[in-house]
Chains A and B, each alone.
Chain A
Amino acid sequence: MLRMASSFPEEVLEHVFSFIQSDADRNSISMVCKSWYEIERWCRRRIFVGNCYAVSPRMVIRRFPDVRSIELKGKPHFADFNLVPEGWGGYVDPWISAMAMAYPWLEEIRLKRMVVTDESLELIAKSFKNFKALVLSSCEGFSTDGLAAIAANCRNLRELDLRESDVDDLSGHWLSHFPDTYTSLVSLDISCLGSEMSFTALERLVGRCPNLRSLRLNRTVPIEKLANLLRQAPQLVELGTGAYSAELRPEVFSNLAGALSGCKELKSLSGFWEAVPAYLPAVYSICPGLTSLNLSYAAIQSPHLIKLLSHCPKLQRLWVLDYIEDVGLEALAASCKDLRELRVFPSDPFVAEPNVSLTEQGLVSVSGGCPKLHSVLYFCRQMSNAALTTIARNRPNFTCFRLCIIEPRTPDYLTLGPLDAGFGAIVEHCKDLRRLSVSGLLTDRAFEYIGTYAKKLEMLSLAFAGDSDLGLHHVLSGCENLRKLEIRDCPFGDKALLANAAKLETMRSLWMSSCMVSYGACKLLGQKMPRLNVEVIDERGPPDTRPESCPVEKLYIYRSVAGPRFDMPGFVWTMDEDSSALRLS
């Protein structure tokens, strides 16, 4: 067999490997034999690092010398909900510095939940001559000055996507740094920015980029200006409007409707800040081709939504506020038979009383009427086991099921008992479930179901649930494919964690906050598991000033081949092998 492997010239193998893009397959190839490992590492062009602290830049560069595209993720998911204190980490600078020297031909950088600085952006702009794509998803730490550097220097830039990032928006002037000779823009997402930008500069940029396919504007672009932009870019496939509101003026309306009808390729709409119903019909002409609609910033009532959705038979993705109500979701189920993904966000998440008539019934309708629905994020205020069971039976093809019952520990409103059976039905029927978020009143029994049935589950989010360590034990011992587990405010402690320590090395990460894991257990875990970084996050001060049995505030455990990190702030301690709390600063 060895002879066969080495009888193929390298170039041939390299050519064969070039058809294999998936990371998992590439990893498998590299394990066949030493020569395949060598050939593969020289020709791998795309790297995905799910946790930027799992490996060091130096290690990545040493193994893969010629990378063109890199994706990095930083902070844990719960950072989205402000559970990770400011300054925790996720800095991209060391990666950019290392890659600036090692990868002169780098084309794409995709970052999620990382801290990016203007210095890094300037370094990117200067170092990579063929730079094509910058995607900063939920990032922070940079300003529009950094963006100006990118605009001014990256002649081959195709994609600039700042989705949901927190940018220090000094002014809209940065956009004018794209030179007049720059024409290669394909995708621009500046929806997270707050400043007004020079509309003329924007219009000219859009006008001179014939390949522009995706344009997501920010809130400051008024609806009156939208038509002009669209006329410059009738080839758009994705459009994010600015503020979608004005007094109804017939000429503005007809101008907009006309411009939109000229965009024959348009498949996706978003934006719609402050949307008023009067201007919604302007999009009707393109609705028949629409596959994705994000109305989650639009406080539009259900009658208008129903009317709009009735024009969208090809809709595959809908994000909407709970103003849609049960009646609107019923209409959705009837109009949009191709629906794949639904997200219903709460319009008023901080009141206990429902402000809209949206209940479990809406989800039941959609799961019944939409045969292709496989991904759901649903906020509501009441749920029942009966409804969940119906949903599970209707829609066994769920791959992602995230239910948030707004009030923690809400029981089944019909039986006043726990929702164990309902979620049990979900995991039992939906055999391909990869992502699950549970809520409401749940006992350890719910986790027994999850551990028993959710064999393909990769990501699980828990909050205010369970009775004892047994719950956590069920999950850790039963869910064979679990990669990410995030837990808050659950009565899980040391026993389950220590008993399943080995499992943690098979996962990307575990987050536990406001649980009952003691400092002593964290130290023990850090001691016994050298390939895990066990980070204690505690803003009360050093954990060794409190008894060992005292529970830690927050705990983040992740596997790593890079060892403990050294960029931690004062409130994070890594539990090291020599059983002392390690923090170098």
Chain B
Amino acid sequence: MAMFAKDDLKATELTLGLPGCARGNKRALANDTNEEPKSTNNTTPDAKKFSNDDRENAPPTKAQVVGWPPVRSYRKNCFQAKKTNAEAEASGIYVKVSMDGAPYLRKMDLKVYKGYPELLKALEDMFKFKVGQYCERQGYNGSEFVPTYEDKDGDWMLVGDVPWEMFISSCNKLRIMKGSEARGLGCAV
């Protein structure tokens, strides 16, 4: 627990560089770690890089075709992310969430969310801010707030680059960056 406290102080320290600068900005490499979906979807002209209908602003976790497979929306919400072993369902993935300028941190259970849109909405509700529009190339546009997370390597990554499952298994903590620091991370290198 003491370890976490130390890290938090570090996060609020005044620095001139971007977080994670000491180890170089890993964001440029994030795309390499994206899993390419094992399907013929990407090679066909008909494959569209649209997300699922109910994730309009979300970064796509794989190239999904609108309305395919033909499953009604109310079914999709039911069983996605259902785990078959009871232990997995019982234990949550609780991570600390900080926002630049907020007096105290919060804790969230990442298992509760089925994907990025839900998580981002929850963050927006919790801290009363609006996140910008995500695009793969440039990160979040249109807001001074940028959601980031610390991964298992200790690097600060942009939320949304990697597939959801990979994200929740590698996320140590979340940080909503604000202001000039955020802009630095959010823009294309």
Contact = CB atoms under 8 A, between A and B. Distances in A.
Interface string A381-420: 0000000000000000000000010111100000000000
Interface residues of A, number: 33
B67 A81 contact: yes
Given A164-B74, A345-B75, A464-B46, A408 B68 contact: yes
B68 A352 contact: no
Interface string A78-110: 101111000000000000000000000000000
A216 to B, nearest CB: 14
Nearest to A515: B46
Contacts, number: 74
Contacts of B46: 408, 464, 489, 514
B91 to A, nearest CB: 16
B64 A352 contact: no
Interface in B125-159: none
Given A352-B37, A353-B38, A408-B65, A301 B84 contact: yes
B62 interface: yes
A3 B53 CA distance: 63
A556 B72 CA distance: 21
Interface in B56-80: 61-62, 64-76, 78-80
B23 interface: no
Q: How big is chain B's contact interface, by range?
A: 20 to 34
Nearest to B48: A514
A346 B72 contact: no
B41 interface: yes
Interface in A327-356: 345-350, 352-353
Contact of B82 (A82, A299, A514): A299
A321 B52 CA distance: 21
A82 B48 CA distance: 14
Given A296-B75, A347-B82, A81 B39 contact: no
B15 interface: no
A404 B40 contact: no
A489 B66 CA distance: 11
Given A408-B40, A409-B40, A347 B70 contact: no
Given A352-B38, A407-B40, A464-B46, A80 B70 contact: yes
A297 B80 CA distance: 11
A346 B82 CA distance: 12
B44 interface: yes
B44 A348 contact: no
A350 B84 contact: no
A346 B37 contact: no
A443 B169 CA distance: 42
B41 A408 contact: yes
A82 B69 contact: no
B76 A349 contact: yes
Given A297-B79, A299-B82, A301-B84, A345 B40 contact: no
A463 interface: yes
Interface in B2-40: 37-40
A376 to B, nearest CB: 15
A488 B41 contact: no
A279 interface: no
21 contacts: A78-B67, A80-B72, A81-B66, A81-B72, A82-B66, A82-B67, A296-B75, A297-B78, A347-B79, A347-B82, A349-B69, A350-B61, A352-B37, A352-B38, A352-B39, A379-B71, A404-B70, A407-B39, A407-B40, A408-B65, A409-B44
Interface of A: 78, 80-83, 164, 192, 273, 296-297, 299, 301, 321, 323, 345-350, 352-353, 379, 404, 406-409, 463-464, 488-489, 514
